[in-house]
Amino acid sequence: MELSSWSPTCDGRAALLLACLSACAPGGERPDARADVAEWRVASEPLLTVGAVDGPSETLLSRVADARLLPDGGVAVADGGSSSIRIFDADGRLRTTRGRAGEGPGEFASLSALHLYSPDTLVAWDSRLSRLTLFPPDPGAPVVTTPVHAPGGSAELWLGRFGDGSGAVGWIRQGPRGPDAVSADRMDLGRVAIGLGQISVLAPTQGIRRVAFQRPGGARTSMPLPFSPHLVGAVSGDALYFTDGVGPALEVVGSDGGRRGPLVHGLTGPPVAEALARLAAELPETGDRGALTTDDLDAVAAVTPLDPIPAVSALFSDDQGRLWLKAYDPVADSHWLGRSLAGGTWWIARRTGGMLARVQVPDGFRPMDVRGSRVAGLVRDTLGVERVEVRALLAP
């Protein structure tokens, strides 16, 4: 069987078993990835933990969307469950809360990203209302809310802040979809002036690839491919670096719209057999309450190839302007399993080109921000309780 174009036989699970037997090492690090770089790791124990298992409501976290390390040693958390920003000091004590649920100034319908605009000023992104909110350091000072109007769509993704203070956003610009075809979200990336909300389009791109298929014994449905590419981007300096995860390079566009790069990272996705084996091991054979199953995997593979597997699943920049790329993992990063983006192998690339380090991240820890030798990230326990931890970045 040609595994790079795998498709089910009459017994789909037999094909999955063959894929399991053919698979090699666990995902996240490829033989052709850059091997001549420094080996770093994120510590297994936290320096600081915020978020409680139980207690006062202001100490509980749920649906954490983002976290930012503060220069004074504290951490700011975008808590989607409460639609508020929780700001903790260097000892983990709650210092203040900004924002609440709603649609008025300083309120959120879907708090989805957080950025440190200056040492003491935060900018929050609401993906449902497509607007930025700037919170000055003085809690009594008025907030600045900027609606963002994207041409041909509704701005959804906040991708970072350029050196001149403007921001980068992304949105779907989608036409009609064919009922039987695999289709990719058509997207635009743009630059927005904070305080004005005016967007200038920087580049077109594409996002999630969706497939329509007949679920075994169920209704016809449309959903992302199990290993679908996914647009990720990050601003560093005066340029936006972005990719849908496929291929060995990041695309680069300046804040003025000029194309640069590409920045070659050299990573490749895991083999199809390995990706299938690892995903199949996490899926039940029969579903309950709509759960996806190995039969569903067979059904999707019957209508479309499941390759190529992405090479990159997440991207952000740290306080030194370096780019952090997560090597795609078929379990932690699959759309079918919720994209936890936790653990695995991350790579640090210089924005001028070349890899600096390979970073091993402990299972269950999802990095969100890096400042100096500190890494802030999300963890969930077996009951689904969320916490934000600050851990040490260990370099030889």
Tokens of 109: 């319908």
Burial class (CB within 10 angstroms; exposed 0-12, middle 13-18, buried 19+) of 201: middle
DSSP 223-254: EE-TT----EEEEETTEEEEE-S-SSEEEEEE
CA atoms of 79 and 100, how far apart (whole Å): 10
User: One digit per residue, pLDDT tens: the chain, 396 residues?
Assistant: 222 333 333 344 434 433 333 333 334 444 444 568 999 999 999 999 998 777 677 778 999 999 999 999 999 999 999 999 999 999 999 999 999 999 999 999 999 999 998 788 899 999 999 999 999 888 888 888 989 988 888 889 999 999 998 999 999 987 666 666 788 899 999 999 877 777 899 999 999 999 988 888 778 888 999 999 999 999 999 999 999 999 999 999 999 999 998 999 999 999 999 999 999 999 998 766 678 899 999 999 998 999 889 999 999 999 999 999 999 999 999 999 999 999 999 999 999 889 999 999 999 999 999 999 999 999 998 888 999 999 999 998
pLDDT at res. 180: 67
Q: What is the 3-state secondary structure (H, E, C) of 185-220?
A: EEEEEEEECCCCCCEEEEEEEEEEEEEEEECCCCCE
CA atoms of 13 and 10, how far apart (whole Å): 9
Q: Do the bridges between strand 121-126 and strand 94-98 make them parallel or antiparallel, or are there none, so unpaired?
A: unpaired
- 149: three-class secondary structure by DSSP: coil
